[in-house]
Structure 1
Amino acid sequence: MFEQNYRHAHRLRDMQKLPYVVVTNSHLSHVYELYYKAFDKFRKVSEIKTVDDNDRWCNILRETLNDHLTAIPRLVRGILEVQGTMKPEETDKFTTTMLKSRISRRVIAEQHLALTETFHSPWHFPDARPQQDSNVDFVGEVFLKCNAKEVIEGCAEATRALLRGAYGDQAPIPEIRVEGHLDAHFPYILSHLEYIIGELLRNSIQAVAERGHRHFKDGVPPPIEVLICETAQNVIIRISDQGGGVPREILPYLWSFSKGPPDRRNLRLQHLERVPKMAATMQEVRTPDQHIGTSPDEGKATKTPAQYESSLTTLSSRPPNLCLGIGLPMSRIYAEYWAGSLELHSLEGYGVDAFLQISKLGNKNEQLTTRASMDAV
């Protein structure tokens, strides 16, 4: 509770230090009010001494998490609208700090909610009969046996189905080929990994599908190659496509929330108006009836515990033409928060190679100093 309020106080301070014309923007003002409301609500909570006290605290957390689903689209819309009143580097730094802090707060809150649900579950107690669906592979929101191949295949099937539904059954949707260390597994928060993989695959599949038949041999779109490499400390995933690469005029703005050509900035504003809430999860690239993490070959699903439905699973799918322009920078923030990295190399006229490095959580060489500095911002 104290930790959550400490982080809210720092973000309020950051917003108060913005130029007056910036902080009075209606969208940024909305975000400020969200943070102040949460800060004021949390500071009035009495010390938690009993299970009933904790249950009341969990109700407050759930309500706050739901309220803050509007924070990302409103924050980005505000940053785009105030462009020109601050240097792009300053607005990007502010936005990145806000989003990194948001990730840390939601992780803490949802882990607490998940562990509370585990405590209340009948199978939690020592004399209870073991159940097959007791989610023993989860510690709160952390999935202990996250299999890279299964997550990739689940995200690929969801994304392919979404684009097939948007473009039609005859659309040139490329095949996804997964190679390398197919047994690589590691503990991770599944929704975060699904979001990153989902955004990368969505970009690649969409680029290939929209490139045109004239670039395909025998009318068959070239497959997207996914290579998994496992080391003692990391898992590296390379996603390679032949979608034509990133246009040269877009490349300098690839990781920016605020910079970009004026015409694309206006288009992003129009699209963000159609997304009132955003949790930044794989649900943004799936159809509502699909189960993320389900391997089409093996037919088994990896999903969050049934006892607790994370507030990160509230978004329905968005159509392919609804380009928000924040998928890649958001994905990099998620990767870096867990001491990983995301890099992209584009060969214009041919395709893109994306490299996602995942740090295995919990090993002795985890970059705890880096994580601590991120949490403290």
Structure 2
Amino acid sequence: MATTFAALIFRPAEIPDRALSQGFAVALGGWAVASPRLFVAPLPGVPGFCAAYYASGEPAAAGGDELDHLVELFDDELSPPVAVLDAAAELGHPGATIYALVFSEEVVHDDGWRFEASGFVRHFVREGEEGVEAGVETPDRSDVVEVDIDLPEGATEQQEREALDRAIRPHRGSTFLAAELGAPVLGALMGGLFAPERRVDVRLVEPGPASIAAEVARLNRALRREGGRGAPASPPPVRGVAAPATYEAFARAYDWADPADPEDLYRELAIGAIEGTLRFLREDELRGHEREPGWEAAAARRLYPLARLSSSALGGGGAAQRAVVALGADGEQLWLVRGGTSAAPAGPTFGELLRYLSLGWSRRSDAEEDLIGALMLRARLRSLGG
């Protein structure tokens, strides 16, 4: 069976798993890929380096295949290696270097890169419209030529394959990477592909109470607030639904009593289906849901009220409409509840909403602009059922 893969090659000391996870999530922000996967393996024969193999997790569609997706994704201006480098810099590794290879045995495709903060170098061979072509690309240069293949008259199929291999070998991306790393990279990648050490989930923001507490701390810093001020002793259950652990972490860390902003309103939000003005519910408002008409249906779905949302976009007419943003039983997914009965995916996860808020009230770097864009794209796709 022909092998096709895309992999990043990196030093683990420079590229932590969180950078891989966030970087791929940013690069995939606008892609309707429901189950992207990353598997990490050490590279045999290339000391100090690991490879992260990406796959879409989607079955091949009629008229297309995984290679089409890989080529388009890695050709994008905001490709996975670029976004991973940005994430690594955010995590304290600004001098990291990443290598990448998109390779297929199904057709001639061997595309290799070196990425660093100062730029990139790319060497490739691929099947073009007029035959096999080779190229070298940098930020300031792009050279593509057709590959001449010297075939003897009456050559056999085996001789044709050997002539093709001789002609393209100097131009291969894997040949370029072998020279960069001083080792036969393609063989090492083939070995690592079938011996993964661990899986890394592709996420813009990690789930769980510790991550939520960190995101609230980030938001407090952006707003110059004091963490935990006015925090409730213990969030109450609502219609028999206990507060998820992520909500408890949020409630402990959030600033509920900022004297400079007593209304505590987040205006003009636009992330997924959360459009309008948002205010996190106080303890008395949570307890009020014990009497909220129709909330029994939301409680039956194990939803926990998080915030009040008001916007004319939520319903017909020009009058402001109100809904509740609720937290799912997993402590991660957010739902938009109208009238206590109708619940629809809000789009962002709890952690993504908090990161969106902190970025929205911050002066953003180019990498953070990419991140907030990915948060909005991914939330929009989810809110539409993608």
Structure whose residues are more often strand by fraction: 2
Structure whose residues are more often helix by fraction: 1
Establish whether TM, by shorter chain, passes 0.5: no
Q: Give the alignment's TM-score, normalised by structure 1.
A: 0.25
Q: Give the alignment's TM-score, normalised by structure 2.
A: 0.24
Higher relative contact order (CA 8 A, sep 6+): 1
